[in-house]
Amino acid sequence: MEQFEIKAYPALWEGLGMEVARFEKSRQMLGEMYRKIYLSQPNRPAGMGYFDALMAEIFGGRIEEMLAVKRAGRPVVGTFCVYIPEEVVVAAGGVCVGLCGGSQGPIPDAEKVLPRNICPMVKSAYGFKAARICPYFQTVDFVYGETTCDAKKKTWELLNRLVPTHVMEIPQMKRERDKALWLAEVRDFKAKVEEVAGAAITAGELGAAIKLINDKRRALQRLARLRGKRPSPISGKDALLIEQIAFYDEPGRFSRKLNELCDELEERVQGGLGAVADSAPRVMLSGTPMALPNWKVHHLLETAGAVVVNEESCIGSRYFKDLIDEGPDRLEAQLTALTERYMQIDCSCFTPNDERVEQVLTEYRQSQAQGILHYSLQFCHTYNIEEIKIREACEREGIPYLAIESDYSPEDTGQLQTRIEAFLEQIREAAC
Ligand code: SF4
Ligand code: SF4
Phi, psi of 199 (to 5 degrees): -155, 150
Phi, psi of 170 (to 5 degrees): -100, 120
Residue 282, burial from CB neighbour count under 10 angstroms (0-12, 13-18, 19+):
buried
**Dihedral of the alpha carbons of 422, 427, 430, 432, in degrees to the nearest 10:** -100
Tell me: the pLDDT tens digits for 192-216? 999 999 999 999 999 999 999 999 9
Tell me: the pLDDT tens digits for 348-376? 999 999 999 999 999 999 999 999 999 99
Global pTM reads 0.98
Tell me: the pLDDT tens digits for 219-253? 999 999 999 999 999 999 999 999 999 999 999 99
Q: Which residue puts its alpha carbon closest to atom 4 of ligand 2? A: 119
Q: Which residue puts its alpha carbon closest to atom 2 of ligand 1? A: 347
Phi, psi of 171 (to 5 degrees): -60, 155
Nearest ligand to the CA atom of 151: 2
Angle in degrees, CA 163, 164, 167, rounded to 5: 120
375 lines ligand 2 (CB under 6 A): no
- Identify the sign of the CA torsion 348, 354, 357, 361: negative
pLDDT band, very low/low/confident/very high, at 1 (cuts 50, 70, 90): low
Average pLDDT of the residues in 419-430 = 97
Q: What is the pLDDT of residue 3?
A: 77
Is there a shared CATH topology between the 10-182 domain and the 207-322+348-431 domain?
yes
Tally of CB atoms within 10 A around 71 = 8
Residue 150, burial from CB neighbour count under 10 angstroms (0-12, 13-18, 19+):
middle
Contact 301, 240 (CB under 8 A): no
| 10-182: CATH number | 3.40.50.11890
Residue extents of the structural domains in the chain: 10-182, 207-322+348-431
Phi, psi of 166 (to 5 degrees): -100, 155
Tell me: the pLDDT tens digits for 8-56? 999 999 999 999 999 999 999 999 999 999 999 999 999 999 999 999 9
- In angstroms, the CA 367 to CA 18 distance is 42
Average per-residue pLDDT for the chain: 97
Residue 151 has pLDDT above 70, yes or no: yes
Q: Which residue puts its alpha carbon closest to atom 5 of ligand 1? A: 81
β-strand pairing of 165-168 with 307-312: unpaired
Q: 347, 348, 377: which to mutate for ligand 2, most atoms within 8 A of CB?
A: 377
Q: What is the pLDDT of residue 432?
A: 83
Beta strands in 93-159, from DSSP E residues, in sequence order = 95-98, 142-146
Closest CA to 376 of 368, 365, 385: 385
Tell me: the pLDDT tens digits for 174-194? 999 999 999 999 999 999 999
Tally of CB atoms within 10 A around 294 = 27
Alpha-carbon distances of 106 from 110, 141, 354, rounded to whole Å = 6, 21, 35
pLDDT band, very low/low/confident/very high, at 2 (cuts 50, 70, 90): low
Closest CA to 33 of 275, 247, 296, 239: 296
Beta strands in 249-361, from DSSP E residues, in sequence order = 282-287, 307-312
For ligand 1, the distance from its centroid to the CA atom of residue 146, given in whole angstroms, is 9
For ligand 2, the distance from its centroid to the CA atom of residue 314, given in whole angstroms, is 11
If you classify domain 207-322+348-431 with CATH, what class do you get? alpha beta
Maximum distance among all Cα pairs of the chain, rounded to whole angstroms: 63
